[in-house]
Amino acid sequence: MTEPVAGTSAPGVFSPGRRMLTSGLVLIVTLVAFESLAVSTVMPLVEDDLGDLWLYGWVFSAFFLGNLIGIVVAGTAADRMRPAVPFAAGLVVFAIGLVVGGLAPSMLVLVLGRALQGLGAGAMPAISYVCIGRGYPHEQRPTMFALISSAWVIPSVAGPALAGLIGSAFGWRWVFLGLLPLCGVIGLLALAGVARIPAPDEPSGDSNLLNAVMVAAGAALLLAGLGAGSVLVGLGLVVVGVAVGLPAFRRLVPPGTLVARRGLPATVLIRGVLTFAFFAGDAYVSYALITVRGLTAAVAGIALTGATLTWTAASWLQARWLDRFGASRFVAAGFAGVALGSLAMLLVLVPAVPAAVGISCWSIAGFGIGLAYAPLSVVTLHEAAEGQEGRATSSLQLSDMLGTALGSGVGGVLVALGTAATDSDTPGLVAVYLLGASVAVVGMVLARRVPGRAALR
């Protein structure tokens, strides 16, 4: 494997040869974390201002579908050139998306801005994974993934409450526009670290832009079909979406992914199942607490903070014990946590139950995804062929983003349909959390196909 960083014999991730790279990767995740938590917190305010509840889920899905394209393009580009090039391009597109979102006159324009944000943001995790694969030995990778999860701590503590206060005092638009200075400063610092990673010794990989666009388009058509007012039109869109997206998805992931073949294929598939189960509910935590229970945006954001903190705690737990217990056990336990947290969120919808219970309920789900998320990343890097880290990790993150987009999108369809049919938000939210729990149970069954302890040695 290419050893791109000077002084790689030093033991720690903050050793002189790796200090700049480690700091840069952590900082860029901090930026993405601020954006993600801030938008989730103020979305009820956005919907109250712009209307179009039926597009609520699309604000999240558009980001993740754009992210999907950015991940594939940046990941394959990193197998042919210096990772700093697609990384810098992603930063510029992300900043443009923030401007479009902050100035959006309608929910539809906001959706388009979020798609641009996702396209740019997709380059960041893709390049981060490549840098971890090429810049750190195997034994340091769990620590790096735990550090990346820890980068969510400060944004999770300050981000939701700060976003809620800014949205209430100055307007939700400043949540987007206020991130621009952070984007510039953090982006330049992170780029200085990523610039230390050279191109691979033997450039490989073809551009998968067309396939990535087809997957995103197929997912968008599928979600549009599920939310269509006409059954006939909806069925047609779903069929076309599957026909367009599924073959392209198969070309972008390892052979055997769709049948969960043991090893890398199953790992890639399970990552998508995990993010579907978690983010189907996560996108509507603030919505449930604000619209159903009447809490303020700042207070509701504490629930997202709690889930992020438990996610981080679980990530450090897996970093310490992964070699001892193996990835498959952590993944199964993580799915169990997501299922339990999703079912617990049903209590929030009961008027007799204190609304504060919702904060602790979703923290259970956060702990669950924290147990499962990083081990899947470690397995993917371990199973990737030398020089193919970009392709392997882009496949993992493709599944990751597709699961997130479909989970939040299907959740949005359920909420919109439930509200239209009953004039109440509660039935749709009940369906959302039952869906998340059900998918998590499926993930528990599939977890046995993830390589265990012996495979990582």
Q: Which residues contact 127 (CB under 8 A, 6 or more apart)?
A: 74, 75, 78, 83, 86, 87, 90, 194
Structural tokens at position 359: 């904060």
pLDDT at 289: 86
C-alpha triplet 224, 226, 229: angle, nearest 5°: 85
Q: What percent of the chain has pLDDT over 70?
A: 93
Residue of 99 and 132 predicted with greater confidence = 99
pLDDT score of 364 more than 50: yes
pLDDT range class, residue 453, cuts 50, 70, 90? low
pLDDT at 424: 85
pLDDT at 205: 55
pLDDT score of 236 more than 90: yes
Across the range 357-366, mean pLDDT stands at 85
Across the range 306-322, mean pLDDT stands at 84
Question: Helix 389-422 to helix 264-282 angle, to the nearest 10 degrees?
Answer: 30
Residue of 359 and 453 predicted with greater confidence = 359
Residue of 248 and 201 predicted with greater confidence = 248
pLDDT at 11: 53
DSSP code of residue 291:
I
Of the candidates 386, 344, 385, 396, the one whose C-alpha atom is nearest the C-alpha of residue 365 is 344
Does residue 21 contact residue 14 with C-beta atoms inside 8 Å?
Answer: no
Of the candidates 342, 189, 322, the one whose C-alpha atom is nearest the C-alpha of residue 280 is 342
Across the range 270-278, mean pLDDT stands at 96
* 244/441 Cα distance (integer angstroms): 28
Q: Which residues contact 91 (CB under 8 A, 6 or more apart)?
A: 120, 123, 124, 183, 187, 191
pLDDT score of 2 more than 50: no
The pLDDT mean for the chain works out to 83
Does residue 23 contact residue 193 with C-beta atoms inside 8 Å?
Answer: yes
- Alpha-carbon distances of 159 from 183, 251, 275, 453, rounded to whole Å: 15, 38, 21, 37
Kindly report which listed range (144-148, 184-188, 259-263) carries the lowest average pLDDT score. 144-148
